[in-house]
Structure 1
Amino acid sequence: MPKIKKIPQRMCLGCQEMKSKRELIRVVRTPEETVEIDPTGKRSGRGAYVCPNNECLEKAIKGKRLEKALKQPISKEIKESLFERMNRP
């Protein structure tokens, strides 16, 4: 019998739903204390996951869930850059 590979599951900070890791976008706090979107999902640092839509990112920021997950306050400039990068194809 072939071995079934597990698909890693993560929770979206916006809608609070468990989804496959590949469906979500990783936001990472790097060791240099910057907050960025991690397209590869492999950068070092503390990560949090959000669905690839503005509503979930907005909920995560508004409810301060992103700040709690990354254990760092998020500035207005970083929030704007996250929304900007989220809208890129």
Structure 2
Amino acid sequence: MQRELERQGLATVGLSLLRKLTERVKPPRTYYLRYPFGHALGEAGNRDQQRQIVRDALSLLETVTVPGTIVESPYRWRRTRFGPEASSSGA
């Protein structure tokens, strides 16, 4: 689906929880997260986390120039803090 949308001139970015499968399928650009199935945008109710993941994924539309690129998220499930409670050390 992503390839067809791209062919029509619409840039896309996908979220992936399965890196090996993504490497085989080779979508145009992908944001890979080491999160459990069903939680591609993070923990339920954690809006700060979900917003940051969406922002990071959308930023790939501007930064990824090589088709098939997979960018791995620096965040770790339930280890990275987001929003006001985040430490100054970052993600």
**One fold, TM greater than 0.5?**
no
User: Which structure is higher in RCO with an 8 Å CA cutoff and minimum separation 6?
Assistant: 2
Question: Which has the larger strand fraction?
Answer: 1
TM-score by length of 2: 0.27
